[in-house]
Structure 1
């Protein structure tokens, strides 16, 4: 059986949107769905003021009710998908990562219930995107229309193989074209010690960036010949370019620097403003240079 898709559930409308998206994705991947609700089972002697409610029958009943409602939502969206549930204990992001194990991906809403008790899933989504070795999909507000393509941010630098593979696979599953977005603000540095010029030819640099994009995706076109590809090179901040692309996208795929590293400014700017779900895929670290 395929590895599961994990969804963080906190009872908010945002997390239920994530459940619906994940259920449909699980159906496409022929994968089971696991709904995870995280709670902190505080001891009475924890020095917090005000003291949170202690875990007990009432809290457990609430957690199971949330999961039951989320399960019903998942089955309504994808009746053929196998759904199971789990109550995890601990800090939310770490508990979801631990529950994910070898899962295909983690899916969460962009915003939680808010406040201390709700564990604000908005901060959790960022923490997961920052730390999870698995792809993390952040689902925002519901849309009235489906997107017409998958969009992916392409840097042209090494380490993006996982990001591109995920994007091509999504385009195949959804039967949609793939828009490869390469945004630049200054000429690329090609080698250590290179200096960026203070003045440069926009048209000439744009042509060079287009060549860089074409070179970086050439092999991927051969691996996925049935996926129509649109190459887009823009003189724009990458976050702005991807936010614009998200308006017509079913999903936006972006690479993150890698586990235990701080998310780049592009991902942080994209997550709260994208018009479509965003998949954050950890990139391989750059190769270590030998002295």
Structure 2
């Protein structure tokens, strides 16, 4: 019987997408999900003649695209032999397909560079757009240097309820500790007269509330928190991500241009020292 819970991963044969497939396979089995490997072939944009070369077996652009997809499936099965894996070959730009394919998925996993090789004109362009437009959590794999580290959750002034939900789910599935941080902005050169714990009681109260919610949502998981004060939200989160197995944050995706995200999420996606999960799942009081 086919597993109804699915994790989607984009694959284009690059080293970045290899890492994404391996990561997705490992976490799909932990979450009792099947894995859906998707390859978007760009040859339809470049040539109408995609069939086999006459007299040459196993040739042609269409067959080349199928081979890429088969490589992705083989890598997933090699990583987790017992995992249920299915594949889909689509034609056209990844951004035109991935958001649609991943609707209702447990999460969408992508490499840190834009899918599509030389046609990804901006580094990470597809990943950035999916982080802003997808209707499920999006994980961008930059590195996986600390697979045994804690889950890092960065919460905003509203407590980031959707990101909290996703971080607790991730910690519960992996058994990882959960570290929650809230960043307060302090302009460069500003001198604090008191310690942050005394100077920012509202922020401390917010952090305490989020910690309490996390312990309720993920019982048995070690949950800690820290209030960070910095001139840059993103730099504080990036620094905190050192040693984390994944960094989780939310985004409302209200960029002026379609396919853009907030500056903090954008910077963290580019510079974090861990995979980054951008919560796109609806929660009671937040559309992430």
1:53 matched to 2:53? The reply is no
Gaps of 5+ in 2: 52-59
Distance in 2 between residues matched to 1:14 and 1:125, nearest whole Å: 11
Q: Count residues in correspondence.
A: 268
1:162 matched to 2:162? The reply is yes
Encode CA deviations 1:193-248: one digit per residue, 9 max, x unaligned: xxxxx987552334442222112332332232211111111102321122122211
SS at match of 2:29: helix
Encode CA deviations 1:121-142: one digit per residue, 9 max, x unaligned: 7110001001111100000135
Shift of 1:69: 1.1
2:199 pairs, out of 188, 196, 205, with 205
1:218 matched to 2:212? The reply is yes
TM-score (norm. length: structure 2): 0.83
CA RMSD of aligned residues (A): 2.7
1:247 pairs, out of 235, 242, 262, with 242
Shift of 1:115: 5.3
Aligned to 2:54: none
Shift of 1:55: 5.5
Q: Contact 1:6 / 1:100 at 8 angstroms: preserved in 2?
A: yes
1:82 pairs, out of 84, 88, 99, with 84
Superposed structure 1 runs of 4+ greater than 6 Å apart: 285-288
Distance in 2 between residues matched to 1:156 and 1:229, nearest whole Å: 19
Distance in 2 between residues matched to 1:127 and 1:261, nearest whole Å: 4
Between 1:161-170 and 1:91-100, the stretch displaced more is 91-100
C-alpha distance 9-205 of structure 1, shift in aligned 2 (>3 A): same
C-alpha distance 55-99 of structure 1, shift in aligned 2 (>3 A): farther
Gaps of 5+ in 1: 44-51, 188-197
Aligned to 1:151: 152
Q: Contact 1:7 / 1:18 at 8 angstroms: preserved in 2?
A: yes
Distance in 1 between residues matched to 2:4 and 2:240, nearest whole Å: 31
Aligned to 1:281: 279
TM-score (norm. length: structure 1): 0.83
SS at match of 2:124: helix
Shift of 1:249: 0.7
